[in-house]
Structure 1
Amino acid sequence: MKLIQLLIVMILVSSCGTKNQDEIAHKKDYDKFLVSNEIKTTSKYFNLWNSKIRPDSMQLTSFGIVGGEYNRYFQQTGDIEFLKKAEKSLKKAVDIANIGKPGFYRSLARNYISQHRFKEALQLADSAAAIGGDKNETHSLYFDVHMELGNYTLAEQYLDSLKNMSDFGYMIRIAKWNDYKGDLDTTINFMEKAKSKAELAKNKDLMLWSYTNLADYYGHAGRIEDSYQQYLKALAIDPNNAYAKKGIAWIVFSNDKNSEEAIRILDSVTKTYNAPDYFLFKAEIADYMGDDMVRTKNLDEYFTRVKNAAYGDMYNAYNLGLYIGETKQYDSALLLAQREVANRPTPESYSWLGYSLLKNGDKEKAMDVMDTYVYGKTFEPALLFQAAEVYKANGKSDRVIELKEELMAAIYELGPNMEKQVHDL
């Protein structure tokens, strides 16, 4: 009996030791970045050019520069109004430009991509191409838009036209292409090369972009320590970078299982950063903690913010998850999923459609959607889980077992809340 007790104690001690060894994030590394500094959304440079804009203004340069500054403010604050102001400035630039018009078309198209207005972005890319100008820039835009629209054959054609192993833009796009194909090793290889190129050029914007994207890819590959270090490098360049802090919060939550600390990190972000999904993340953590008060508070904050019509279709996927998992509004989910497929016919949109059909009791049609548009066409764990649920409902046990194996290896990406659901498949 004493031997059994001793073994139990040894196992518990060993388990505790392993947990500490597995912890990745440490307050001493990132605490200095959690100070909530006021985000400046004006400057002498901005005021100078903004002052040149009048109701009857024809100051083309002013509109382009002011639009760019508004976009930067959006990136820094998450405030949708800045993205809409950028759109307004760029539309005026398109209207009055005689020289450099393709560039303004491309800038406005990228603004529309940020707003999830992908079909309108494609129209603007066509307008830029019709005039001419920088062919590589237009083809880069075409690749980006077609990837968002799920037109993968066209996207690959434009990627092939850009091939230049010394170009940063090509390397990040070939990385994205290989991620879509599920070749994560090649994805990381190209992203590391792009990062090195950005560092060699000492271009802080490209370095920041490289670090945060490489951190994401490392996370997908289970290289959590490497992911963490890249987020820290991003914060060393931009201490206010909300995305990097969100990435660290995910590591703290999903890997380190320190929910209170993850919420503390996010609380520091949402004091100055306004994107609704950060509140949804806090609600997810609170749900795992069993803290219904914090969960409800953050869900309410999310719903209040996304009511703003300026967001358009930007949060459709998040809303679908809430309609199905939270409010059980399956009819609303189906209508929104159909809207998403019309706007953006990707495996993700079709997966939501199939999942919504399942929740509405049409399991056969749900499986048909998964078979045709999702299975074998995406490697995103959240979508594979939806497919697995549809196949389970239809008695396709072989396929469920296959998908469950993949999902078990992706628990970090799915998060602690999904672990039991995956086990129960």
Structure 2
Amino acid sequence: MDFRTFSRLTTLVFILCETGGMLLAQDRQDEATPANNAARRLNEDGLIPVDGAIASVQKRLSTAPESASLQRLLGQLYMRRAKEQGDHLAYQKAEQTFRKVLKNYPKDSKASTYLATALQAQHQFKEALKIASDVAKESPKNTLAQATIGDCQLELGRYDAAEESFATLAKMTNGPSVQARLARLAELKGDTEQATELLTEALRDVQDAGGLGSLESWFEWRLGSIAFDTGRLKRASRHFRNAIAIDSSNAQAVVGLAKVQAAQGQHGEAIAAYFGAIEDFGEPPMMAALGDVYRRLGDEEEAMHWYEQAEEAMAEEAVHAAAAHYREVAMFYADRDLKPQRALELAKKDFALRQDVYGHDMLAWTLYRNGKFEEAAKSIEQALRLGTRDAKMFFHAGMIYNALGQSKRAQKAFETAIEINPHFSLLHSETAKEELAKLAPH
């Protein structure tokens, strides 16, 4: 999986998509005034654009500035704006809003819980974990706090603790949000079949409940992502197309389908899809991916043009969201062998925030790009410790072991990468096959 969910964030979109419903469900217990109920419906149902909903709540706050429930709702709306518009500054506004509530009402557990989710979205996982853990001690039935605890532990690489937290959550509640978290843990541990089963069950539950477009589309995208990562291109294409049919604004699904087309050699279709995605969503990873297609076609000039566009767009995002994009930018540079020192610097900054297997992988890959092969080997072994079935990770391992002259380990790593997904990267799949041919000529 590439970049921001593209770099396993998802995680960011995952967190927002999955905890959003829990936020709203919990907040229904707030003061039930007609104005509050009307504003809450704007957030739940999306009947008007989020900016209009924010304006509505702010207007209400002008006559009731001390209302904790309205302040909490405003913070939730900022979170929604961040998710829908990619407005990273909105996460900071949400954080500030929840902190304002807590300044006036230090014991407000809902505000504390929401603050933890806002910090989590900004990759401040340690502080988010502490706040959510404190809430859970005082309110053991707070499902959102419990979910946030597990999410943060996952990002920090504390997998045993995360598994326990999700098991506790599963005893407290059930449904798609829990299944999605269990699926992600299963995927990280290398059990992609169980992950697929859990996500399929969750999707069915959403559909049986009458469906919620964005959530149903999200589960289709997740299923497509796992299918792609395990080399099942036709299945991946089907899921991505389903996701887009349900919600055409699902940028991840649009990009996922373009990746499938590129992997199938349908370069013209992939280029058209990426151009459309860039026009509609303008995300840096889309620009970088378009550059990869051109590089694959041998058009280095056009590839570099789009890499420069991606770099400029990432620089703009970094103004308000540097921490959330350290890994994305480091991966951008390292995958294309651009600015290796800068890539390593960013990978180290990201690693200081979260020490999951992908943090170790990114650190290993950037160390390799800087010729620090022995250090890279130590990091890649940590990245592989869970048994995660990620072809790119094994490719990185193969390149590192090869550089150290460890031919047998390199051969095994390349074989595993190709076995998992022979189309794992436009840039590196052929390299893996070429290196393997040198190590194990037929």
Spell out the pairing of 1:313-392 with structure 2 (5 A cutoff): 313-326=323-336, 328-374=338-384, 377-392=387-402
TM-score (norm 2): 0.78
The one-letter code matched in structure 2 to 1:161 is T
Give per-residue Cα distances to partners, 1:339-368, cap 9 Å, x unaligned.
222211122222232333333333233323
**Structure 1 stretch displaced more, 368-377 or 72-81:** 368-377
Spell out the pairing of 1:2-401 with structure 2 (5 A cutoff): 41-42=49-50, 44-54=52-62, 57-97=65-105, 101-132=108-139, 134-164=141-171, 166-204=174-212, 205-255=214-264, 257-307=265-315, 308-326=318-336, 328-374=338-384, 377-401=387-411
Identity %: 20
- Residues 263/117 of structure 1: CA separation in 2 closer, same or farther (3 Å cut): farther
Return the offset for 1:146.
0.6
**For structure 1, which runs of at least 5 residues remain unmatched after alignment?**
1-39
**Structure 1 stretch displaced more, 156-165 or 188-197:** 156-165
The one-letter code matched in structure 1 to 2:145 is T
Give per-residue Cα distances to partners, 1:165-198, cap 9 Å, x unaligned.
9532322222111111101111111111111111
Distance in 2 between residues matched to 1:289 and 1:177, nearest whole Å:
37
- Residues 298/258 of structure 1: CA separation in 2 closer, same or farther (3 Å cut): same
Distance in 2 between residues matched to 1:380 and 1:274, nearest whole Å:
27
Return the offset for 1:84.
3.2
Distance in 2 between residues matched to 1:86 and 1:267, nearest whole Å:
32
Distance in 1 between residues matched to 2:429 and 2:137, nearest whole Å:
50
Give per-residue Cα distances to partners, 1:184-238, cap 9 Å, x unaligned.
1111111111111111112404323322212212223333333222223322332
* Aligned CA-pair RMSD: 2.7
- Residues 131/374 of structure 1: CA separation in 2 closer, same or farther (3 Å cut): same
Aligned residues of 2:115 and 2:128 also touching (Cα < 8 A) = yes
Aligned residues of 2:390 and 2:420 also touching (Cα < 8 A) = no
- Residues 159/105 of structure 1: CA separation in 2 closer, same or farther (3 Å cut): same
Aligned residues of 2:390 and 2:417 also touching (Cα < 8 A) = no
Q: Which residue of 2 aligns with 1:29?
A: none
Aligned residues of 2:229 and 2:391 also touching (Cα < 8 A) = no
Distance in 2 between residues matched to 1:325 and 1:195, nearest whole Å:
33
Q: Which residue of 2 aligns with 1:8?
A: none
Q: Which residue of 1 aligns with 2:430?
A: 420
**Structure 1 stretch displaced more, 226-235 or 187-196:** 226-235
Give per-residue Cα distances to partners, 1:141-160, cap 9 Å, x unaligned.
11111111100011111122
Aligned residues of 1:76 and 1:273 also touching (Cα < 8 A) = no
Q: Report 1 or 2 for greater relative contact order, CA contacts < 8 Å, sequence distance ≥ 6.
A: 1
* Corresponding residue pairs, total: 384
**For structure 2, which runs of at least 5 residues remain unmatched after alignment?**
1-47, 436-442
- Residues 238/325 of structure 1: CA separation in 2 closer, same or farther (3 Å cut): closer
Return the offset for 1:325.
4.7
Distance in 2 between residues matched to 1:412 and 1:103, nearest whole Å:
47
Return the offset for 1:384.
1.5
Give per-residue Cα distances to partners, 1:387-422, cap 9 Å, x unaligned.
111111122222112111111134455222212210
Matched, 1:408 2:418: yes
Distance in 2 between residues matched to 1:163 and 1:137, nearest whole Å:
12
Aligned residues of 1:148 and 1:344 also touching (Cα < 8 A) = yes
